[in-house]
Structure 1
Amino acid sequence: MLEYILPFIGTIVTALVTWFFARRKTNAEAKMAEIDAEVKAAEFYKSLLDDAMKRLENAITTINNQDAKIQMLLSEIEHLTDELKKFKQLNGKI
């Protein structure tokens, strides 16, 4: 009877040791997969932020260019208004 029990106990001990180390390996692999997913998510959000920064800088540049054009046009309107006043004064309309 002992000759049947010893191999059975040996098999059970081997299975338990294998299960224990396999469980640790599986937990480590799961942790690595979780870390990889977090790194990929961080890279994705970083690329989104970089794209948003580029778009924001482009919009700011466009707004600044339009502001400069508006200032130039206002200056030109003031100059033309002064010229029109001078012209009216020369023709005696004021």
Structure 2
Amino acid sequence: MNEYLINAILPLLVGVGTWFAARRKNLAEVTSNELDNATKAVKYYREMLDDMALRYKEVVKELDDLKDHMKRSDEQLQHMMQENRELVDELKKYKQLNGKTETTA
């Protein structure tokens, strides 16, 4: 009878001891995996933010270049408008010298 009890209780005790040791190991592995996942997520978002910062700098630089181009174009337009006015005035003077009168509409 003792033999039957030992054969029944011993594997049960070994199983409980193994489960307890494995449970601690599994908890440690789960915690380690969670930390690894969090580290990977932080790295991913950091890279994404760095990429967005670079894109933002590029867009700002391009916008500044476009502003400079618009400013130069506006200056050129103002210069051309002034030159056009001067040419119209010269044309009016030329017409007056040739005896033509200016008609207004």
Distance 1:74 1:57 in 2: 26
Residue identity matched to 1:42 = V
Correspondence 1:1-94 to 2 at 5 A: 1-6=1-6, 8-92=8-92
- In the alignment, residue 68 of structure 2 is paired with which amino acid? A
Ranges of 4+ aligned residues in structure 1 off by more than 6 Å: none
Equivalent residue pairs, number: 94
Which runs of 5 or more residues in structure 1 are unaligned?
A: none
Q: CA deviation at 1:13?
A: 2.1
2:92 match: secondary structure: coil
Counterpart-to-counterpart distance in 1, 2:20 and 2:38: 27
Q: Distance in 1 between matches of 2:72 and 2:26?
A: 69
CA distance in structure 1 between the partners assigned to 2:25 and 2:19 by the alignment: 10
Q: 1:34-80 CA deviation, whole Å, 9 max, x = no partner?
A: 22112112211221221122112111111110111001110111011
Query: What is the CA–CA distance in structure 1 between the aligned matches of 2:6 and 2:25, rounded to whole Å?
Result: 29
2: CA distance, partners of 1:62 / 1:84: 32
C-alpha root-mean-square deviation of aligned residues, in Å?
A: 2.0
Which is worse superposed, 66-75 or 30-39? 30-39
TM-score by length of 1: 0.82
Which one has a bigger Cα radius of gyration? Answer: 2
The 1-side partners of 2:58 and 2:11 are apart by: 70
- Aligned amino acid, residue 72 of structure 1: R
